[in-house]
Amino acid sequence: RRDCPNAIRLQSNFAYRILESKWVDSKNKKSDAVLHIKGIDRVGLINEITQILSNNLKVNIRSININSSDGTFDGLITVLVTDKENLKKVIHSIKKVEGITSVNRKFKSV
């Protein structure tokens, strides 16, 4: 705030350190979300997931990596989402696919 006493004091002493800020319209900003999925492997499962994401939800798949062993699979799918609601819809849709046992967002470790 321009009328904040601390801001006024800082501006008078350290004006060279102050930058003007602007709010970004987050409706136009998309973010990557990494989803960790597990389930029972079957023919066509990944095709079904990609069809739901691309055709039904119109979500861009940035990367996909699936490993299968002994009839089960484990993998990561990175999708481009617009907001939390979009992400919730993606997760809910994947969970409804036959054979999927879990879908969780994977956060990057710092």
Query: Sorting pLDDT into bands at 50, 70 and 90, what band is 110?
Result: low
Q: Yes or no: say if 94 and 79 are a contact pair by the CB < 8 Å rule.
A: no
Give 2 or 12, the one with higher predicted confidence.
12
Query: Sorting pLDDT into bands at 50, 70 and 90, what band is 83?
Result: very high
CB atoms within 10 A of CB 10: 13
Q: Yes or no: say if 79 and 63 are a contact pair by the CB < 8 Å rule.
A: no
For the chain, which domains are there?
Answer: 27-106 (3.30.70.260)
Residue 25, Ramachandran bin (φ over 0: left; ψ between -120 and 50: alpha; else beta): beta
What's the Cα-to-Cα distance from 6 to each of 9, 10, 11, rounded to whole Å? 5, 6, 8
CB atoms within 10 A of CB 42: 13
Rounded to an integer, what distance in angstroms lies between the CA atom of residue 86 and that of residue 26?
13
Confidence check: pLDDT of 27 > 80: no
Query: Sorting pLDDT into bands at 50, 70 and 90, what band is 41?
Result: very high
Residue 1: the pLDDT is 63
Lowest mean pLDDT among 7-16, 44-53, 54-63: 7-16
Confidence check: pLDDT of 2 > 80: no
Among candidate residues 43, 33, 31, 45, the one with its CA nearest the CA of residue 94: 45
Residue 62: the pLDDT is 97
Say what the pTM is.
0.73
Cα Dmax for the chain: 68
Question: What digits encode the pLDDT tens for the residues 28-39?
Answer: 789 999 999 999
